[in-house]
């Protein structure tokens, strides 16, 4: 069984990006600049944004963090996005989700210039991805594709079952796996909470990608012998044996499923670290005008 190490792979990608940034500086070029907008005081969001800003500094990017109060109006947030859109020094823009309930995520996402949408969430980038045109691909799906590639996992002609249909992971993942190219050329079944016979469908998967958001949902009896299993979930559950009182687990029952899988991502340390690495890669593409030129 191969343990697909996202922590190690993300470190490799960051190192590659840092080397390119050093070259850009040496050539007198423009250093990539990522702006992040954080609304409110959600603990998890602050942690995620902090990690992104820290990663920027580690690899030589410039970064700007815009903090807004939970009570900020939708109009004020849209104005902040517009200002960043028009700032030629900023290459990439992310607005950390979730947003307060009084603000429309769709309106904010649609306001971001596709050229600066390094999260890959705007309709323009989702559409370009579906057409297999140059696009910023959403960070988590891109990270999964990169793991499959770097671990030389065969995808052509394989049956890939995706569990979960979110706009952030499941839906784009199903498109990427079906596209003509590598990783891709798979026969894809997209399943979700209302799928009938989900267990039987999962059992047919050569590649099983689980992004349902339910801890330990996938058990050994749902997995074919020798399948590749990608676990996107991350949950904090109580564990009295740990000093912290909790531990992190995924959507997959790792202990029992890893005994059947040919390759599997752990939680933590699997897909998670790849998300930030992918975001940084998209920002580098934006700075070098590799997608929209």
Q: What mean pLDDT do residues 160-167 have?
A: 97
The one catalytic residue in 5, 14, 91, 96 is 96
Helix (H, G, I), strand (E, B) or coil at 122: coil
Label residue 44 by pLDDT band (50, 70, 90): confident
Q: Which residues contact 32 (CB under 8 A, 6 or more apart)?
A: 21, 24, 61, 62, 91, 92, 283, 284, 286, 287, 288
Residue pair 229/264 in contact (Cβ under 8 Å)? The answer is yes
For residue 255, give the nearest of 278, 223, 283, 290 by alpha carbon. 223
Mark whether 52 is an active-site residue.
yes
For residue 209, give the nearest of 178, 163, 158 by alpha carbon. 163
Mark whether 203 is an active-site residue.
no
The one catalytic residue in 14, 52, 116, 224 is 52
For residue 94, give the nearest of 103, 107, 81 by alpha carbon. 81
The one catalytic residue in 119, 206, 231, 251 is 119
Over 90: is that where the pLDDT of 70 sits? Answer: yes
Residue pair 269/6 in contact (Cβ under 8 Å)? The answer is yes
Span 75-130, pLDDT tens digits: 999 999 999 999 999 999 999 999 999 999 999 999 999 999 999 999 999 999 99
Mark whether 110 is an active-site residue.
no
């Amino acid at each position: 069984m191969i343990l697909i190490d996202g922590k190690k792979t993300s470190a490799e990608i960051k190192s590659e990006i840092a080397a390119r940034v050093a070259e850009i500086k040496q050539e007198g070029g423009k250093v990539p600049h990522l702006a992040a907008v954080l609304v409110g005081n959600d603990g998890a969001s602050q942690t995620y944004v902090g990690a992104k800003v820290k990663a920027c500094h580690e690899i030589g990017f410039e970064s700007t963090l815009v903090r807004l109060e939970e009570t900020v109006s939708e109009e004020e947030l849209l104005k902040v996005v517009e200002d960043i859109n028009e700032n030629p020094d900023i290459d990439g823009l992310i607005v950390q989700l979730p947003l307060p309930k009084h603000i429309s995520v769709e309106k904010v996402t649609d306001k971001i210039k596709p050229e600066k949408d390094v999260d890959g969430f705007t309709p323009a980038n989702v559409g370009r991805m579906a057409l297999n045109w140059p696009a910023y691909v959403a960070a988590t799906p891109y990270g999964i594709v990169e793991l499959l590639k770097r671990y030389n996992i065969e995808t052509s002609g394989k049956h890939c079952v995706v569990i979960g249909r979110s706009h952030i992971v499941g839906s784009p993942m199903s498109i990427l796996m079906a596209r003509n190219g590598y990783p891709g050329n798979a026969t894809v079944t997209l399943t979700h909470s209302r799928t009938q016979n989900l267990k039987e469908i999962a059992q047919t998967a050569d590649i099983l990608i689980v992004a349902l958001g339910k801890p330990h949902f996938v058990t050994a009896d749902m997995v074919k012998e020798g399948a590749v299993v990608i676990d996107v979930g991350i949950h904090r559950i109580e564990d009295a044996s740990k000093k912290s009182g909790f531990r992190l687990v995924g959507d997959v029952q790792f202990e029992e499923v890893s005994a059947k899988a040919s390759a599997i991502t752990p939680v933590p340390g699997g897909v998670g670290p790849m998300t930030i690495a992918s975001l940084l890669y998209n920002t580098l593409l934006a700075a070098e005008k590799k997608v929209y030129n």
